[in-house]
C-alpha cells in the first residue's frame, strides 16, 4: 500500500488527511500539499489503526509522553498505567522506551492498551539483546538490528527514533572539539558510538540508510531521525558535533522523503533560550521544512526535581519559533523513573507550553480571549469550559468555596472585578463583550 506521502504526491486525499483537516480546521488540500512536500506527517502504521494525529506545518504543536521500564524497575503494570494516564490526560502520542524485562511483551501490551500512535527506539532492544545473549553491547550484530526494526514495525509502532546521523564524521567532530562538559546523554547515541569505535566500523543505520527507509516505508512508519549527539548540558549546546549530526539528519530526511517515507528530525535536549530560534531556523532551512521534534528542551541544568517547569519554558519558545512536536519532561527527570502521577504533571506542563507557543506561531488567542471575558463576568462555568484543565480548576475552587459564590476566596469581598465592573460595563465595545 502507498504511504501518506506517496498518496499526497499522487494528488490523493486519504481518510487520515481528512481527519487532520477537520481536527485542525484547515483545508484538506493544504494538508495534502504539506504532506506531499514533506512538511507534515501522519504517524499511522498500516498494521495498527490508532488515533489520527497530524504533526507539522500549520498545525497545533503536538505533545509526546514517554514511558518505559528500566533495568532497575521492571513493572509492566505500572507502565500500562502510565500509558493510560498519558492518553487520559491529553498526550498526542506515546513513546515506549523500555530497557528492562520482556521488551516484546511490554511493547505489545502498551500497543494493545492505548489508541495513541506509539513510537520506539529499536536500537535499545538490539543492544540489550546483545548484552543478554553475548555479554556485551559491543557484540551487537547489525543484522539483528534490522530484524528488530522490522519486528517493531510489524507490531504496529507508528514512529521510530533511529540514530542514523551518527557516523565517522560526527564522532571525529566530537573528538576534535575536546569531547564535552556533560558527555553523551542519549542511550542510543552512546551505545552506537561505543560500538563504532570498538569495532572500527561505520554506523550500519547510516551505511545502509536505504534499507532502513524501505522497512519503514513498507509499513508507513514515520522515521524520526534521532539526535544521538544531542547536548545534555547547556554548555554543550549547538556545538560542532550536534550541528554536524543535524546537517546529516536533514540530508537524510530529504533522501527518505524522496524514497516515499514520512520523515521528521529530532532537535536538541539542553539548550539556552537564546539558541532555540537558531536551531529551529537551521533545521527548517536544511530539511526543506520537515517536522521538528524537540526533546524538552531544557534551558537550564540545575532545576532537578522541577525539570518539567524548565522544559515548559524551553518548549513554549520552541513552539513559538516553529517547532512542531515536543516531548514532555516529568519532575523525576535526571533523578528516577517516573510514576503515573509524574506523567500527569509532566503532560500538564508540556500542554501549557505547547499552547503558549501556538498563541504566537498560529496567532491563535481566541481561547484566551474567551477566558478573559468569562473572568470579567465572573462566569465560573465558562471559565472551566475554556481552560486547559477544567477538572483541576473546578476541584480547587470547590475545595475552598467562598461565602459569596460569585467571587473566589483569593479576594473574597475585595474582588476588583466585582467592585468596578458595573461602572464600566456600559462602555464595553462590541468586540470586548464576548
Does residue 163 contact residue 141 with C-beta atoms inside 8 Å? no
Return the closest-CA partner of residue 310 out of 274, 271, 344. Answer: 271
What pLDDT is recorded for position 251?
98
Could you tell me the three cell numbers for 251? 540530508
What pLDDT is recorded for position 389?
96
- With 0-12 / 13-18 / 19 or more C-beta atoms within 10 angstroms meaning exposed / middle / buried, residue 354 is buried
Strand intervals (E) in 283-412: 292-295, 325-327
Walking along the chain (434 residues) 10 residues at a time, the average pLDDT comes out as: 97 98 98 98 97 98 98 97 98 98 97 98 97 96 98 98 97 97 96 98 98 98 96 97 97 98 96 98 98 96 98 98 98 98 98 98 95 95 96 94 90 91 89 88
Start-to-end CA distance of the chain, whole Å, equals 49
Instruction: Give the 3-state secondary structure of residue 160.
Output: strand
CB atoms within 10 A of CB 138: 16
What pLDDT is recorded for position 421?
87
Instruction: Give the 3-state secondary structure of residue 92.
Output: coil
Does residue 347 contact residue 91 with C-beta atoms inside 8 Å? yes
Strand intervals (E) in 163-262: 222-225
Does residue 272 contact residue 233 with C-beta atoms inside 8 Å? no
Element (H, E) at 351: helix 340-361
Q: What is the pTM of this model?
A: 0.96
Could you tell me the three cell numbers for 216? 519503514
Q: How far apart are CA 387 and CA 241, in angstroms?
A: 42
CB atoms within 10 A of CB 32: 24
Q: Domains of the chain, with CATH numbers? A: 46-361 (3.20.20.540), 366-433 (no CATH)
What pLDDT is recorded for position 50?
97
76: alpha, beta or left? (left if phi > 0; alpha if psi -120 to 50): alpha
Non-local (6+) Cβ contacts of 166 within 8 A are: 189, 192, 193, 196, 203, 205, 206, 228, 229, 245
CA angle 154, 20, 322 (to 5 degrees): 95
Q: Are strands 292-295 and 325-327 parallel, antiparallel or unpaired?
A: parallel
Return the closest-CA partner of residue 235 out of 150, 157, 300, 146. Answer: 300
- Phi, psi of 364, rounded to the nearest 5 degrees: -120, 100
Does residue 38 contact residue 257 with C-beta atoms inside 8 Å? yes
Amino acid at each position: 500500500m502507498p504511504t501518506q506521502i506517496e498518496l499526497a504526491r499522487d494528488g490523493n486525499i486519504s481518510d487520515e488527511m481528512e481527519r487532520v483537516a477537520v481536527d485542525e480546521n484547515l483545508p484538506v488540500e493544504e494538508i495534502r500539499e504539506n504532506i506531499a512536500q514533506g512538511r507534515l506527517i501522519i504517524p499511522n502504521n498500516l498494521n495498527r489503526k490508532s488515533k489520527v494525529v497530524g504533526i507539522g506545518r500549520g498545525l497545533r504543536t503536538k505533545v509526546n509522553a514517554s514511558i518505559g521500564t528500566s533495568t532497575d524497575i521492571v513493572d509492566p503494570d505500572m507502565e500500562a498505567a502510565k500509558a493510560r494516564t498519558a492518553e487520559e490526560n491529553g498526550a498526542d502520542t506515546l513513546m515506549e522506551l523500555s530497557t528492562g524485562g520482556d521488551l516484546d511483551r511490554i511493547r505489545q501490551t502498551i500497543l494493545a492498551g492505548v489508541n495513541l500512535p506509539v513510537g520506539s527506539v529499536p536500537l535499545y532492544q538490539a543492544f540489550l539483546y546483545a548484552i543478554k545473549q553475548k555479554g556485551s553491547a559491543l557484540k551487537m550484530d547489525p543484522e539483528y538490528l534490522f530484524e528488530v526494526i522490522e519486528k517493531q514495525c510489524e507490531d504496529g509502532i507508528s514512529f521510530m527514533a533511529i540514530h542514523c546521523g551518527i557516523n565517522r564524521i560526527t564522532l571525529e567532530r566530537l573528538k576534535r572539539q575536546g569531547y564535552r562538559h556533560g558527555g553523551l546523554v542519549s542511550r542510543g547515541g552512546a551505545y552506537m558510538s561505543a560500538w563504532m569505535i570498538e569495532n572500527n566500523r561505520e554506523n550500519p543505520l547510516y551505511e545502509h540508510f536505504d534499507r532502513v527507509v524501505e522497512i519503514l516505508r513498507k509499513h508507513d512508519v514515520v522515521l524520526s531521525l534521532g539526535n544521538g549527539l544531542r547536548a545534555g548540558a547547556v554548555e554543550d549546546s549547538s556545538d560542532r558535533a550536534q550541528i554536524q549530526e543535524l546537517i546529516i539528519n536533514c540530508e537524510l530526511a530529504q533522501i527518505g522523503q524522496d524514497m516515499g517515507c514520512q520523515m521528521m528530525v529530532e532537535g536538541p535536549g539542553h539548550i539556552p533560550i537564546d539558541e532555540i530560534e537558531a536551531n529551529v531556523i537551521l533545521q527548517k532551512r536544511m530539511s526543506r521544512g520537515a517536522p521538528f521534534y524537540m526533546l524538552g528542551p531544557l534551558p537550564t541544568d540545575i532545576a532537578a526535581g522541577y525539570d518539567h517547569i524548565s522544559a515548559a519554558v524551553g518548549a513554549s519558545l520552541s513552539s513559538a519559533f516553529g517547532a512542531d512536536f515536543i516531548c514532555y519532561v516529568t519532575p523525576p527527570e535526571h533523578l528516577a523513573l517516573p510514576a503515573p502521577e509524574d506523567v500527569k504533571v509532566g503532560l500538564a506542563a508540556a500542554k501549557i507550553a505547547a499552547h503558549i507557543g501556538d498563541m504566537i506561531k498560529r496567532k491563535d488567542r481566541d481561547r484566551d480571549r474567551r477566558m478573559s471575558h468569562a473572568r470579567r463576568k465572573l462566569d465560573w462555568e465558562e471559565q472551566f469550559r475554556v481552560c486547559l484543565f477544567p477538572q483541576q480548576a473546578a476541584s480547587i475552587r470547590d475545595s475552598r468555596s467562598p461565602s459569596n459564590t460569585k467571587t473566589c476566596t483569593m479576594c473574597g469581598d475585595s474582588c476588583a472585578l466585582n467592585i468596578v465592573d458595573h461602572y464600566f460595563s456600559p462602555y464595553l465595545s462590541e468586540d470586548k463583550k464576548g
